[in-house]
Structure 1
Amino acid sequence: MGRWEPNARMRLVRAAVDLSAEQGYDATTVAQIAERAGLTKATFFRHFPDKREVLFAGQEEHSALLAAGIGAAPDGASPLDAVSAGLDTLAASFTPEQREFGPRLAEAVRGSTELQERGALKDVRLASAMGTALRERGVPEPAAHLAAELGVLAVKQGYARWCDGAGDDDGGLAEQMRAALAELREATVALGP
């Protein structure tokens, strides 16, 4: 693949996921990622500050999409209905390629404490974006915080199901995230008064 070909960022992500799945995250270097992508280390560092961040590419966009979807929910929507609107907006941005490399990325994260810590930070940032968007809609604390945390769980569970092949015939990723959110909503009721 020539260095001039487009979509360097996605090529780097794909290379990082592949190498981390093949040889483990710790054994993967920035030089290997750049070489696999057909790029230079300098190009890698124009897109990402380090090898950890390449595996979490798009986090800022995901936070913005969730917040925009929540903000665009109909007036009078409950906090969880607004979160559901955010999930729909986020799901629309995902590509078949992200679904294809999802299981390999999950495997790399499971195999690395460093990546697990980075994943936890991602979850905090997604929850913060959703919580802020809910508060801007007038949702008080702690309801905004709880709805945002449930939204993060719905993203994680829905994405995992989608990557595992669920949702092929019933609405795809958005449906999987909405189904996960509905299950979480039911679970909160089961907690009792």
Structure 2
Amino acid sequence: MSRWEPDARGRLERAAMDLYSERGFERTTVTEIARCAGLTERTFFRHFADKREVLFAGASTLQDLFVDTLAGVPESAAPIDAVAAALDAAAAVFQGRHEHARQRQMIIVANAELQERELIKLARLSTAIAETLRLRGVPDPAASLAAEAGIAVFKVAFERWIGGTGRPDMPQLIRESLDELKAVTAGR
């Protein structure tokens, strides 16, 4: 094992994803992940708190992107249109990452603990969006409804995206899902 090679975090992520896919999340240890990446356990724990964090490390970055984008939308925008702008910004993050996202989702779906963690992530994201809308002057229940609707649109678009070939792309699927939501709420 060499003392230093570049991209330790990326190597750990790739090794973990491969092992989770081959053996399952439950049967994969941190020791095996580190060994597969050519690193030590100590290095693993410098980058991740535990083996779940390999799958959820980007959650705070995604939340920050949603909140920052939402905060920058003109005040005149309707709450759902402001959320749509945040959804578009988030969708751009997924460009070129279809296979990784699909693999990650398959790992999560195969484990109840990880499914619960994913739901908690989405609930926190909804709470952050609603709070940002409230700071923009959107009263409740409109802020909470727009946030939850945004998360629903995101989930539906994401599931369609990973279930397919990556085409159409995530931004297009988000726009289509948002249009569907608007059609449903308009009674069409």
Q: TM (normalized to structure 1)? A: 0.87
> How far 1:110 sits from its partner (Å)?
1.3
Provide the residue aligned with 2:46 in structure 1.
46
Aligned partners of 2:95 and 2:170 also within 8 Å: no
What letter is aligned with 2:27?
A
Aligned partners of 1:69 and 1:88 also within 8 Å: no
> How far 1:174 sits from its partner (Å)?
1.7
Q: Please tell me the root mean square deviation across aligned C-alpha atoms, in Å.
A: 2.1
Change (3 A) 1:189 1:116: same
> How far 1:26 sits from its partner (Å)?
0.7
Change (3 A) 1:55 1:146: same
> How far 1:39 sits from its partner (Å)?
2.1
Aligned partners of 1:17 and 1:105 also within 8 Å: yes
Q: TM (normalized to structure 2)? A: 0.89
Q: Which runs of 5+ in 2 are unaligned?
A: none
What letter is aligned with 2:123?
V
Aligned partners of 2:52 and 2:114 also within 8 Å: yes
Change (3 A) 1:83 1:3: farther
Match of 1:178 among 175, 178, 182: 175
1:110 aligns with 2:109: yes
Change (3 A) 1:95 1:2: farther
> How far 1:182 sits from its partner (Å)?
2.3
CA-to-aligned-CA distance 1:67-90 (integer Å, 9 cap, x gap):
111111123111110011101221
What letter is aligned with 1:51?
K
Would you say how many aligned residue pairs link Structure 1 and Structure 2?
187
Change (3 A) 1:111 1:135: same
Aligned partners of 2:13 and 2:54 also within 8 Å: yes
The correspondence of residues 150-161 of structure 1 with structure 2, limited to 5 A, is 150-161=149-160
What letter is aligned with 1:55?
L
SS of match in other structure, 2:52: helix
1:119 aligns with 2:96: no
Single out whichever of 77-86 and 27-36 deviates more from structure 2. 27-36
Change (3 A) 1:154 1:4: farther
Change (3 A) 1:77 1:24: same
What letter is aligned with 1:140?
P
Aligned partners of 2:12 and 2:37 also within 8 Å: yes
SS of match in other structure, 1:92: helix
What letter is aligned with 1:23?
R
> How far 1:2 sits from its partner (Å)?
6.0
1:142 aligns with 2:141: yes
